[in-house]
Amino acid sequence: MLDHIFLTVGDTDRAIAFYERVLPILGMTSRLDYDGKAGPAGHPDLKGFGGRGRMDFWLRQGAAAPGAVHVGFAATSAAMVDAAFAAAVAAGASAIHAPGPQRHYDPRYYAAQVRDPDGYSLEFVYKRWQHGA
């Protein structure tokens, strides 16, 4: 199980504005700014997002590498996937694929995918079998 991920973005203010509009829909309602000076030499400043007592998605300033990372965010319903997709597009993401079943994985795999303002591939995923349905 993953504990956290750092995503390097070209403009942290723009990325924060984008993710603040999208992640709360997925239950990531907490925000934290970490001053890199509090860590070891060379530690970057971080902008964190999380929920349910965890901070697990972090942004740091630098050269974005969108082809290097794909992030799948768990949703607890198809409606949550739909809402996250709509919010992401409204916040400036470009659509890769609209919400719907991803039958090539499993008929119960419901997802949507966008590119964030830095070009990273984000997927909002609801897998019924992981939620007892």
For residue 12, which of 41, 43, 49, 39 has the smallest C-alpha distance? 49
Name the percent of the chain lying above pLDDT 90: 92
pTM strictly above 0.75? yes
Query: Nearest 5 degrees, angle CA 112-CA 94-CA 71?
Result: 50
CA atoms within 13 A on the CB side of 59: 25
What is the per-residue pLDDT across 6-15, written as a single tens digit (0 to 9) for each? 999 999 999 9
Q: So what's the pLDDT on residue 81?
A: 98
Query: Which pLDDT band holds residue 63 (cuts at 50, 70, 90)?
Result: very high
Instruction: Judge residue 20's burial from the number of C-beta atoms within 10 Å of its C-beta, 0-12 exposed, 13-18 middle, 19 or more buried.
Output: middle
Name the percent of the chain lying above pLDDT 70: 98
Q: So what's the pLDDT on residue 5?
A: 95
Give the chain's domains with CATH numbers. 5-130 (3.10.180.10)
Query: Nearest 5 degrees, angle CA 38-CA 1-CA 71?
Result: 80
Is the per-residue pLDDT at 132 higher than 90?
no
